[in-house]
Structure 1
Amino acid sequence: MTAPHWLALYAGLLLAWIGVWAMSSPGEFATILRDLCMTPAAQAGLPGLLAMWLIMSSAMMLPTAIPAFATHDQIADAQGVGGGAWLVGGYAVVWVGFSGIAALTQMAAARVGIADAVWLAPALLIAAGAYQFSALKEACLSKCRQPLTYFMQHWEEGPWRMGLRLGATCLGCCWALMALGLIGGTMSLGFMALATVLMTLEKLTRGGFVPSAIGLGCLAGAGFLIGGYL
Protein backbone atom coordinates (compact mmCIF):
# COMPACT_ATOMS: atom_id res chain seq x y z
CA MET A 1 0.00 0.00 0.00
CA THR A 2 2.75 2.40 -0.95
CA ALA A 3 1.33 3.30 -4.36
CA PRO A 4 0.88 7.06 -4.96
CA HIS A 5 -2.89 6.93 -4.51
CA TRP A 6 -2.49 5.19 -1.15
CA LEU A 7 0.03 7.75 0.02
CA ALA A 8 -2.31 10.55 -1.09
CA LEU A 9 -5.25 8.88 0.63
CA TYR A 10 -3.39 8.48 3.92
CA ALA A 11 -2.06 12.01 3.69
CA GLY A 12 -5.53 13.41 3.15
CA LEU A 13 -6.93 11.34 5.98
CA LEU A 14 -4.14 12.41 8.32
CA LEU A 15 -4.53 16.09 7.45
CA ALA A 16 -8.30 15.93 7.95
CA TRP A 17 -7.99 14.45 11.45
CA ILE A 18 -5.15 16.82 12.34
CA GLY A 19 -7.44 19.70 11.43
CA VAL A 20 -10.22 18.34 13.61
CA TRP A 21 -7.85 17.65 16.51
CA ALA A 22 -6.19 21.06 16.20
CA MET A 23 -9.54 22.78 16.52
CA SER A 24 -9.98 21.33 20.00
CA SER A 25 -6.44 22.20 21.13
CA PRO A 26 -4.95 25.51 22.26
CA GLY A 27 -3.04 27.60 19.78
CA GLU A 28 -3.50 30.25 17.12
CA PHE A 29 -4.29 27.79 14.34
CA ALA A 30 -6.87 26.08 16.51
CA THR A 31 -8.44 29.43 17.32
CA ILE A 32 -8.82 30.21 13.62
CA LEU A 33 -10.48 26.83 12.98
CA ARG A 34 -12.67 27.13 16.06
CA ASP A 35 -13.81 30.61 15.07
CA LEU A 36 -14.65 29.34 11.60
CA CYS A 37 -16.65 26.38 12.89
CA MET A 38 -18.48 28.37 15.56
CA THR A 39 -19.40 31.20 13.21
CA PRO A 40 -23.10 31.09 12.31
CA ALA A 41 -23.60 29.43 8.94
CA ALA A 42 -25.05 32.55 7.34
CA GLN A 43 -21.92 34.49 8.30
CA ALA A 44 -19.36 31.77 7.56
CA GLY A 45 -20.33 31.79 3.90
CA LEU A 46 -20.45 28.92 1.46
CA PRO A 47 -16.64 28.51 1.13
CA GLY A 48 -16.21 28.16 4.89
CA LEU A 49 -19.08 25.69 5.23
CA LEU A 50 -17.84 23.71 2.23
CA ALA A 51 -14.37 23.48 3.76
CA MET A 52 -15.81 22.16 7.02
CA TRP A 53 -17.92 19.51 5.31
CA LEU A 54 -15.03 18.45 3.07
CA ILE A 55 -12.85 17.92 6.14
CA MET A 56 -15.64 16.03 7.89
CA SER A 57 -16.31 13.81 4.88
CA SER A 58 -12.62 13.04 4.42
CA ALA A 59 -12.02 12.27 8.08
CA MET A 60 -15.13 10.15 8.54
CA MET A 61 -15.64 8.33 5.25
CA LEU A 62 -12.15 7.46 4.02
CA PRO A 63 -11.51 5.02 6.90
CA THR A 64 -14.73 3.16 6.10
CA ALA A 65 -13.71 2.76 2.43
CA ILE A 66 -10.17 1.47 2.96
CA PRO A 67 -11.20 -2.24 2.87
CA ALA A 68 -12.89 -1.70 -0.50
CA PHE A 69 -9.90 0.18 -1.91
CA ALA A 70 -7.58 -2.60 -0.71
CA THR A 71 -9.79 -5.26 -2.32
CA HIS A 72 -9.69 -3.41 -5.64
CA ASP A 73 -5.91 -3.19 -5.56
CA GLN A 74 -5.59 -6.90 -4.79
CA ILE A 75 -7.69 -7.76 -7.84
CA ALA A 76 -5.88 -5.21 -10.00
CA ASP A 77 -2.46 -6.48 -8.93
CA ALA A 78 -3.47 -10.05 -9.69
CA GLN A 79 -4.47 -8.98 -13.20
CA GLY A 80 -1.45 -6.77 -13.70
CA VAL A 81 -3.49 -3.59 -14.11
CA GLY A 82 -3.74 -0.35 -12.15
CA GLY A 83 -6.51 2.16 -11.74
CA GLY A 84 -6.51 2.57 -7.97
CA ALA A 85 -6.11 6.32 -8.24
CA TRP A 86 -9.12 6.56 -10.57
CA LEU A 87 -11.19 4.49 -8.16
CA VAL A 88 -10.34 6.77 -5.23
CA GLY A 89 -10.95 9.80 -7.42
CA GLY A 90 -14.42 8.65 -8.45
CA TYR A 91 -15.26 7.89 -4.83
CA ALA A 92 -14.04 11.32 -3.74
CA VAL A 93 -16.15 13.13 -6.36
CA VAL A 94 -19.33 11.74 -4.81
CA TRP A 95 -18.39 12.97 -1.35
CA VAL A 96 -17.31 16.37 -2.65
CA GLY A 97 -20.78 16.63 -4.14
CA PHE A 98 -22.35 15.60 -0.83
CA SER A 99 -20.25 18.21 0.98
CA GLY A 100 -21.48 20.88 -1.39
CA ILE A 101 -25.12 19.89 -0.90
CA ALA A 102 -24.65 19.74 2.89
CA ALA A 103 -23.04 23.19 2.94
CA LEU A 104 -25.84 24.67 0.83
CA THR A 105 -28.46 23.01 3.04
CA GLN A 106 -26.84 24.32 6.21
CA MET A 107 -26.65 27.85 4.82
CA ALA A 108 -30.26 27.74 3.62
CA ALA A 109 -31.43 26.47 7.02
CA ALA A 110 -29.61 29.31 8.73
CA ARG A 111 -31.05 31.93 6.43
CA VAL A 112 -34.65 30.81 6.87
CA GLY A 113 -34.18 30.57 10.62
CA ILE A 114 -34.57 26.85 11.26
CA ALA A 115 -30.94 26.02 12.07
CA ASP A 116 -31.56 26.70 15.77
CA ALA A 117 -35.15 25.41 15.92
CA VAL A 118 -35.76 23.11 18.89
CA TRP A 119 -37.44 20.53 16.67
CA LEU A 120 -34.51 20.17 14.26
CA ALA A 121 -32.38 17.89 16.45
CA PRO A 122 -35.13 15.35 17.26
CA ALA A 123 -36.36 15.45 13.66
CA LEU A 124 -32.90 14.61 12.29
CA LEU A 125 -32.42 11.90 14.89
CA ILE A 126 -35.78 10.34 14.03
CA ALA A 127 -34.96 10.47 10.31
CA ALA A 128 -31.52 8.94 10.84
CA GLY A 129 -32.91 6.28 13.19
CA ALA A 130 -35.72 5.31 10.83
CA TYR A 131 -33.33 5.15 7.87
CA GLN A 132 -31.23 2.55 9.71
CA PHE A 133 -34.15 0.12 9.32
CA SER A 134 -34.93 0.95 5.68
CA ALA A 135 -34.56 -1.40 2.71
CA LEU A 136 -32.33 1.13 0.92
CA LYS A 137 -29.94 1.22 3.86
CA GLU A 138 -29.77 -2.58 3.93
CA ALA A 139 -29.22 -2.79 0.16
CA CYS A 140 -26.36 -0.28 0.21
CA LEU A 141 -24.80 -1.76 3.32
CA SER A 142 -24.84 -5.28 1.89
CA LYS A 143 -22.79 -4.06 -1.07
CA CYS A 144 -20.34 -2.17 1.12
CA ARG A 145 -19.81 -5.32 3.19
CA GLN A 146 -18.91 -7.41 0.12
CA PRO A 147 -16.39 -5.39 -1.90
CA LEU A 148 -15.07 -8.48 -3.70
CA THR A 149 -18.53 -9.34 -5.02
CA TYR A 150 -19.11 -5.69 -5.92
CA PHE A 151 -15.93 -5.45 -8.00
CA MET A 152 -16.55 -8.77 -9.71
CA GLN A 153 -19.98 -7.52 -10.78
CA HIS A 154 -18.78 -4.14 -12.08
CA TRP A 155 -15.15 -4.71 -13.07
CA GLU A 156 -15.84 -4.10 -16.76
CA GLU A 157 -17.01 -0.57 -15.99
CA GLY A 158 -13.46 0.52 -15.17
CA PRO A 159 -12.06 2.08 -12.00
CA TRP A 160 -13.50 5.58 -12.46
CA ARG A 161 -17.09 4.43 -12.85
CA MET A 162 -16.65 1.83 -10.14
CA GLY A 163 -15.37 4.60 -7.86
CA LEU A 164 -18.42 6.71 -8.60
CA ARG A 165 -20.71 3.74 -8.00
CA LEU A 166 -18.87 2.82 -4.80
CA GLY A 167 -19.12 6.41 -3.56
CA ALA A 168 -22.84 6.48 -4.30
CA THR A 169 -23.35 3.17 -2.49
CA CYS A 170 -21.35 4.44 0.48
CA LEU A 171 -23.40 7.62 0.46
CA GLY A 172 -26.54 5.52 0.55
CA CYS A 173 -25.19 3.82 3.66
CA CYS A 174 -24.03 6.83 5.58
CA TRP A 175 -25.71 10.07 4.49
CA ALA A 176 -28.24 10.10 7.34
CA LEU A 177 -25.59 9.63 10.03
CA MET A 178 -23.39 12.22 8.35
CA ALA A 179 -26.29 14.66 8.34
CA LEU A 180 -26.34 14.48 12.13
CA GLY A 181 -23.26 16.69 11.96
CA LEU A 182 -25.76 19.52 11.65
CA ILE A 183 -26.71 18.89 15.28
CA GLY A 184 -23.79 16.81 16.58
CA GLY A 185 -21.47 19.67 15.93
CA THR A 186 -19.76 20.46 12.65
CA MET A 187 -16.09 19.56 13.17
CA SER A 188 -16.83 18.16 16.64
CA LEU A 189 -14.02 15.73 17.47
CA GLY A 190 -16.23 13.61 19.73
CA PHE A 191 -19.12 13.34 17.30
CA MET A 192 -16.88 12.61 14.33
CA ALA A 193 -14.86 9.95 16.15
CA LEU A 194 -18.01 8.19 17.38
CA ALA A 195 -19.74 8.35 14.00
CA THR A 196 -16.62 7.06 12.21
CA VAL A 197 -16.34 4.09 14.55
CA LEU A 198 -20.04 3.25 14.18
CA MET A 199 -20.05 3.52 10.38
CA THR A 200 -16.90 1.41 10.15
CA LEU A 201 -18.39 -1.25 12.43
CA GLU A 202 -21.50 -1.36 10.26
CA LYS A 203 -19.41 -2.28 7.23
CA LEU A 204 -17.06 -4.70 8.95
CA THR A 205 -19.69 -6.74 10.80
CA ARG A 206 -22.40 -9.03 9.51
CA GLY A 207 -26.07 -9.07 10.40
CA GLY A 208 -28.34 -6.29 11.54
CA PHE A 209 -27.24 -5.84 15.14
CA VAL A 210 -25.00 -2.79 14.67
CA PRO A 211 -27.29 -0.89 12.26
CA SER A 212 -30.30 -1.64 14.48
CA ALA A 213 -28.45 -0.57 17.62
CA ILE A 214 -27.48 2.71 15.95
CA GLY A 215 -31.05 3.25 14.81
CA LEU A 216 -32.46 2.57 18.26
CA GLY A 217 -29.85 4.87 19.77
CA CYS A 218 -30.90 7.69 17.44
CA LEU A 219 -34.59 7.16 18.19
CA ALA A 220 -33.90 7.01 21.93
CA GLY A 221 -31.93 10.27 21.66
CA ALA A 222 -34.84 11.88 19.85
CA GLY A 223 -37.23 10.69 22.55
CA PHE A 224 -34.97 12.06 25.25
CA LEU A 225 -34.85 15.48 23.59
CA ILE A 226 -38.59 15.57 23.00
CA GLY A 227 -39.20 14.62 26.62
CA GLY A 228 -36.95 17.45 27.73
CA TYR A 229 -38.93 19.94 25.65
CA LEU A 230 -42.30 18.89 27.11
Structure 2
Amino acid sequence: MKAIARLLPGHSALWLTFFASVLIAWGVLFATHVPVAAPDEAFGLAYLISLCTQTVADTGFLSAVFMWSLMSLAMMAPTAFPAFRTYADLTHTDAASGKSLAVLVIGYLAVWVGFSVPAAFLQVQLAQMGFLDQAGRSTSGLLNGALIALAGLYQFSSLKNACLSACQNPMTFFFNHWNPGLRGALQLGLRLGAVCLGCCWALMLLAFVAGTMNLAFMGLAMVLMTLEKLPRIGARLSAPLGVFLGIGGAVVIVLSLVNL
Protein backbone atom coordinates (compact mmCIF):
# COMPACT_ATOMS: atom_id res chain seq x y z
CA MET A 1 0.00 0.00 0.00
CA LYS A 2 2.83 2.42 0.86
CA ALA A 3 4.60 1.63 -2.41
CA ILE A 4 1.42 2.39 -4.37
CA ALA A 5 0.95 5.59 -2.40
CA ARG A 6 4.45 6.73 -3.37
CA LEU A 7 4.09 5.82 -7.04
CA LEU A 8 0.46 6.96 -7.36
CA PRO A 9 -0.24 9.58 -4.72
CA GLY A 10 -3.86 9.70 -3.64
CA HIS A 11 -6.59 7.01 -3.81
CA SER A 12 -4.27 4.18 -2.81
CA ALA A 13 -7.14 1.83 -1.99
CA LEU A 14 -8.73 2.41 -5.40
CA TRP A 15 -5.47 1.81 -7.26
CA LEU A 16 -4.80 -1.32 -5.21
CA THR A 17 -8.26 -2.63 -6.11
CA PHE A 18 -7.73 -1.75 -9.76
CA PHE A 19 -4.39 -3.53 -10.10
CA ALA A 20 -5.55 -6.47 -8.00
CA SER A 21 -8.58 -6.92 -10.25
CA VAL A 22 -6.39 -6.92 -13.35
CA LEU A 23 -3.99 -9.43 -11.81
CA ILE A 24 -6.86 -11.67 -10.70
CA ALA A 25 -8.29 -11.60 -14.23
CA TRP A 26 -4.91 -12.60 -15.67
CA GLY A 27 -4.57 -15.24 -12.95
CA VAL A 28 -7.90 -16.85 -13.80
CA LEU A 29 -7.08 -16.79 -17.50
CA PHE A 30 -3.71 -18.40 -16.76
CA ALA A 31 -5.39 -20.98 -14.54
CA THR A 32 -7.55 -22.09 -17.47
CA HIS A 33 -4.42 -23.63 -18.96
CA VAL A 34 -3.90 -25.79 -15.85
CA PRO A 35 -5.68 -29.16 -15.70
CA VAL A 36 -8.61 -29.10 -13.30
CA ALA A 37 -8.44 -31.77 -10.57
CA ALA A 38 -12.17 -31.82 -9.93
CA PRO A 39 -14.07 -30.35 -12.87
CA ASP A 40 -17.38 -31.64 -11.50
CA GLU A 41 -17.32 -29.31 -8.49
CA ALA A 42 -20.40 -27.13 -8.36
CA PHE A 43 -18.59 -24.08 -7.00
CA GLY A 44 -15.10 -22.74 -6.46
CA LEU A 45 -12.07 -22.13 -8.65
CA ALA A 46 -12.43 -25.47 -10.45
CA TYR A 47 -15.89 -24.47 -11.61
CA LEU A 48 -14.67 -21.10 -12.90
CA ILE A 49 -11.79 -22.76 -14.71
CA SER A 50 -14.12 -25.31 -16.27
CA LEU A 51 -16.17 -22.48 -17.77
CA CYS A 52 -13.16 -21.44 -19.84
CA THR A 53 -11.54 -24.80 -20.53
CA GLN A 54 -14.56 -26.43 -22.12
CA THR A 55 -15.49 -25.65 -25.69
CA VAL A 56 -17.95 -22.83 -26.33
CA ALA A 57 -20.37 -25.24 -27.92
CA ASP A 58 -20.43 -27.22 -24.65
CA THR A 59 -20.53 -24.41 -22.11
CA GLY A 60 -22.79 -22.01 -23.97
CA PHE A 61 -23.30 -18.29 -24.26
CA LEU A 62 -22.99 -17.20 -20.61
CA SER A 63 -19.62 -18.85 -20.12
CA ALA A 64 -18.39 -17.17 -23.31
CA VAL A 65 -19.55 -13.80 -21.96
CA PHE A 66 -17.69 -14.54 -18.73
CA MET A 67 -14.53 -15.40 -20.63
CA TRP A 68 -14.67 -12.31 -22.85
CA SER A 69 -15.34 -10.12 -19.80
CA LEU A 70 -12.20 -11.51 -18.16
CA MET A 71 -10.24 -10.90 -21.36
CA SER A 72 -11.53 -7.34 -21.55
CA LEU A 73 -10.60 -6.60 -17.95
CA ALA A 74 -7.15 -8.18 -18.31
CA MET A 75 -6.33 -6.60 -21.67
CA MET A 76 -8.19 -3.28 -21.85
CA ALA A 77 -8.07 -1.91 -18.29
CA PRO A 78 -4.26 -1.49 -18.43
CA THR A 79 -4.45 0.32 -21.78
CA ALA A 80 -6.69 2.98 -20.22
CA PHE A 81 -4.49 3.51 -17.16
CA PRO A 82 -2.92 6.75 -18.54
CA ALA A 83 -6.42 8.20 -18.94
CA PHE A 84 -7.41 7.07 -15.44
CA ARG A 85 -4.23 8.61 -14.05
CA THR A 86 -4.97 11.87 -15.86
CA TYR A 87 -8.44 11.97 -14.33
CA ALA A 88 -6.95 11.18 -10.93
CA ASP A 89 -4.85 14.34 -11.21
CA LEU A 90 -8.10 16.30 -11.43
CA THR A 91 -9.20 14.87 -8.09
CA HIS A 92 -6.50 16.98 -6.43
CA THR A 93 -8.59 20.00 -7.43
CA ASP A 94 -12.28 20.71 -6.91
CA ALA A 95 -13.06 19.34 -10.38
CA ALA A 96 -13.43 15.70 -9.31
CA SER A 97 -13.28 13.35 -6.35
CA GLY A 98 -12.12 9.87 -5.48
CA LYS A 99 -15.66 8.55 -5.82
CA SER A 100 -15.97 10.07 -9.29
CA LEU A 101 -12.71 8.37 -10.30
CA ALA A 102 -14.11 5.01 -9.22
CA VAL A 103 -17.34 5.69 -11.12
CA LEU A 104 -15.32 6.67 -14.21
CA VAL A 105 -13.45 3.35 -14.14
CA ILE A 106 -16.70 1.42 -13.65
CA GLY A 107 -18.28 3.20 -16.62
CA TYR A 108 -15.27 2.41 -18.80
CA LEU A 109 -15.31 -1.29 -17.88
CA ALA A 110 -19.08 -1.46 -18.39
CA VAL A 111 -18.60 -0.67 -22.07
CA TRP A 112 -16.15 -3.54 -22.48
CA VAL A 113 -18.44 -5.92 -20.60
CA GLY A 114 -21.09 -4.83 -23.09
CA PHE A 115 -18.69 -5.63 -25.93
CA SER A 116 -18.29 -9.11 -24.44
CA VAL A 117 -21.93 -9.92 -25.20
CA PRO A 118 -21.80 -9.64 -29.04
CA ALA A 119 -18.26 -11.07 -29.05
CA ALA A 120 -19.48 -14.11 -27.11
CA PHE A 121 -22.51 -14.45 -29.37
CA LEU A 122 -20.23 -14.41 -32.43
CA GLN A 123 -17.96 -17.02 -30.85
CA VAL A 124 -20.88 -19.31 -30.03
CA GLN A 125 -22.24 -19.05 -33.56
CA LEU A 126 -18.84 -19.75 -35.14
CA ALA A 127 -18.30 -22.71 -32.80
CA GLN A 128 -21.68 -24.21 -33.60
CA MET A 129 -20.93 -23.90 -37.33
CA GLY A 130 -17.63 -25.70 -36.81
CA PHE A 131 -15.40 -22.72 -37.63
CA LEU A 132 -13.58 -22.74 -34.26
CA ASP A 133 -11.41 -25.39 -32.67
CA GLN A 134 -11.28 -26.12 -28.93
CA ALA A 135 -8.85 -23.23 -28.37
CA GLY A 136 -11.30 -20.77 -29.90
CA ARG A 137 -9.14 -20.44 -33.01
CA SER A 138 -10.69 -20.10 -36.45
CA THR A 139 -10.23 -23.11 -38.71
CA SER A 140 -11.10 -21.10 -41.83
CA GLY A 141 -8.19 -19.54 -43.68
CA LEU A 142 -10.52 -17.13 -45.48
CA LEU A 143 -12.04 -15.97 -42.20
CA ASN A 144 -8.58 -15.52 -40.69
CA GLY A 145 -7.41 -13.50 -43.66
CA ALA A 146 -10.55 -11.37 -43.65
CA LEU A 147 -10.21 -10.55 -39.93
CA ILE A 148 -6.51 -9.70 -40.27
CA ALA A 149 -7.11 -7.55 -43.37
CA LEU A 150 -10.06 -5.83 -41.69
CA ALA A 151 -7.92 -4.94 -38.69
CA GLY A 152 -5.23 -3.60 -41.02
CA LEU A 153 -7.59 -1.48 -43.10
CA TYR A 154 -9.34 -0.15 -39.99
CA GLN A 155 -6.03 1.28 -38.80
CA PHE A 156 -6.35 3.91 -41.56
CA SER A 157 -10.04 4.74 -41.07
CA SER A 158 -11.19 8.16 -39.91
CA LEU A 159 -13.07 6.59 -36.99
CA LYS A 160 -9.95 4.81 -35.79
CA ASN A 161 -7.90 8.00 -36.06
CA ALA A 162 -10.51 10.06 -34.19
CA CYS A 163 -10.82 7.51 -31.38
CA LEU A 164 -7.06 7.01 -31.14
CA SER A 165 -6.51 10.76 -30.94
CA ALA A 166 -8.93 10.97 -28.01
CA CYS A 167 -7.16 8.09 -26.26
CA GLN A 168 -3.77 9.73 -26.79
CA ASN A 169 -4.95 13.06 -25.36
CA PRO A 170 -7.09 12.21 -22.32
CA MET A 171 -6.86 15.67 -20.72
CA THR A 172 -8.27 17.29 -23.85
CA PHE A 173 -10.92 14.58 -24.02
CA PHE A 174 -12.02 15.20 -20.42
CA PHE A 175 -12.15 18.97 -20.89
CA ASN A 176 -14.19 18.68 -24.10
CA HIS A 177 -16.79 16.38 -22.52
CA TRP A 178 -16.69 17.43 -18.89
CA ASN A 179 -19.73 17.06 -16.67
CA PRO A 180 -19.50 17.50 -12.88
CA GLY A 181 -20.55 15.03 -10.21
CA LEU A 182 -20.88 11.28 -10.14
CA ARG A 183 -23.33 11.26 -13.02
CA GLY A 184 -20.89 13.26 -15.09
CA ALA A 185 -18.09 10.86 -14.17
CA LEU A 186 -20.22 7.90 -15.28
CA GLN A 187 -20.96 9.62 -18.58
CA LEU A 188 -17.26 10.33 -19.05
CA GLY A 189 -16.38 6.72 -18.25
CA LEU A 190 -18.94 5.39 -20.72
CA ARG A 191 -17.73 7.82 -23.37
CA LEU A 192 -14.11 6.91 -22.71
CA GLY A 193 -15.00 3.22 -22.99
CA ALA A 194 -16.83 3.85 -26.27
CA VAL A 195 -13.83 5.74 -27.65
CA CYS A 196 -11.51 2.92 -26.58
CA LEU A 197 -13.85 0.38 -28.15
CA GLY A 198 -13.87 2.37 -31.38
CA CYS A 199 -10.09 2.32 -31.30
CA CYS A 200 -9.47 -1.35 -30.49
CA TRP A 201 -12.42 -3.55 -31.47
CA ALA A 202 -10.85 -4.79 -34.72
CA LEU A 203 -7.63 -5.77 -32.96
CA MET A 204 -9.62 -7.56 -30.27
CA LEU A 205 -11.38 -9.68 -32.90
CA LEU A 206 -7.99 -11.06 -33.92
CA ALA A 207 -8.46 -13.32 -30.90
CA PHE A 208 -10.45 -15.53 -33.27
CA VAL A 209 -7.31 -15.89 -35.40
CA ALA A 210 -4.81 -16.54 -32.60
CA GLY A 211 -7.25 -18.31 -30.27
CA THR A 212 -9.58 -16.78 -27.73
CA MET A 213 -7.66 -18.43 -24.91
CA ASN A 214 -4.19 -17.67 -26.30
CA LEU A 215 -2.36 -15.90 -23.46
CA ALA A 216 0.55 -14.93 -25.70
CA PHE A 217 -1.83 -13.12 -28.05
CA MET A 218 -3.59 -11.41 -25.14
CA GLY A 219 -0.31 -10.15 -23.74
CA LEU A 220 1.00 -8.97 -27.11
CA ALA A 221 -2.28 -7.29 -28.02
CA MET A 222 -2.41 -5.53 -24.65
CA VAL A 223 1.13 -4.19 -25.12
CA LEU A 224 0.44 -3.04 -28.69
CA MET A 225 -2.82 -1.30 -27.78
CA THR A 226 -1.19 0.35 -24.76
CA LEU A 227 1.75 1.62 -26.83
CA GLU A 228 -0.60 2.82 -29.55
CA LYS A 229 -2.37 5.06 -27.04
CA LEU A 230 0.89 6.78 -26.06
CA PRO A 231 1.16 9.94 -28.22
CA ARG A 232 4.79 9.70 -29.35
CA ILE A 233 4.94 5.93 -29.79
CA GLY A 234 1.42 5.57 -31.16
CA ALA A 235 2.05 8.06 -33.95
CA ARG A 236 4.86 5.83 -35.22
CA LEU A 237 3.19 2.50 -34.55
CA SER A 238 -0.35 2.77 -35.90
CA ALA A 239 0.36 3.04 -39.65
CA PRO A 240 3.11 0.37 -39.82
CA LEU A 241 0.86 -1.98 -37.84
CA GLY A 242 -1.93 -1.35 -40.34
CA VAL A 243 0.36 -2.06 -43.29
CA PHE A 244 1.66 -5.24 -41.67
CA LEU A 245 -1.84 -6.53 -40.92
CA GLY A 246 -3.21 -5.54 -44.32
CA ILE A 247 -0.44 -7.35 -46.20
CA GLY A 248 -0.64 -10.31 -43.85
CA GLY A 249 -4.39 -10.61 -44.32
CA ALA A 250 -4.06 -10.44 -48.10
CA VAL A 251 -1.40 -13.16 -48.09
CA VAL A 252 -3.54 -15.45 -45.91
CA ILE A 253 -6.54 -14.94 -48.20
CA VAL A 254 -4.53 -15.69 -51.35
CA LEU A 255 -2.99 -18.82 -49.84
CA SER A 256 -6.42 -20.00 -48.70
CA LEU A 257 -7.87 -19.54 -52.18
CA VAL A 258 -4.94 -21.38 -53.75
CA ASN A 259 -5.46 -24.33 -51.39
CA LEU A 260 -9.19 -24.61 -52.05
- State the distance in 2 between where 1:27 and 1:104 align: 26
Q: Alpha-carbon deviations, 1:40-96, whole Å to 9, x = none?
A: 322221122112101110111011100101111101222264111110111011001
| Cα distance per residue 1:159-201 (max 9 Å; x no partner) | 1100000000000000000111112111211101110111011
Q: Does 1:71 align with 2:72?
A: no
Counterpart in the other structure of 1:87: 104
Q: CA deviation at 1:202?
A: 0.5
In 1, are the aligned partners of 2:107 and 2:190 still within 8 Å (CA)?
yes
Task: Count matched residues.
Answer: 230
Match of 1:188? 214
Greater Cα offset, 18-27 or 95-104: 18-27
Query: Which stretch of the first structure deviates more once superposed, 12-21 or 35-44?
Result: 35-44
Map of 2:30 onto structure 1: 21
Aligned to 1:110: 127
Q: SS at the partner of 2:229?
A: helix
- Larger-Rg structure: 2
Letter in 1 for 2:123: Q
The answer to whether residue 183 in structure 2 is matched with residue 156 in structure 1 is no
Map of 1:41-80 to 2, 5 A cutoff?
Answer: 41-79=56-94
Partner in structure 1 of residue 151 of structure 2: 128
| 1:200 aligned residue | 226
Q: Tell me which residue corresponds to 1:170.
A: 196
Whose relative contact order is higher, 1 or 2, with alpha carbons under 8 Å and at least 6 apart?
1
1:155 aligns to what SS in structure 2?
coil
Q: 1:127: how far off? A: 0.8
TM-score (norm 2): 0.80
What is the CA–CA distance in structure 1 between the aligned matches of 2:187 and 2:231, rounded to whole Å?
Answer: 26
CA RMSD of aligned residues (A): 2.3
**TM-score (structure 1 length as normaliser):** 0.90
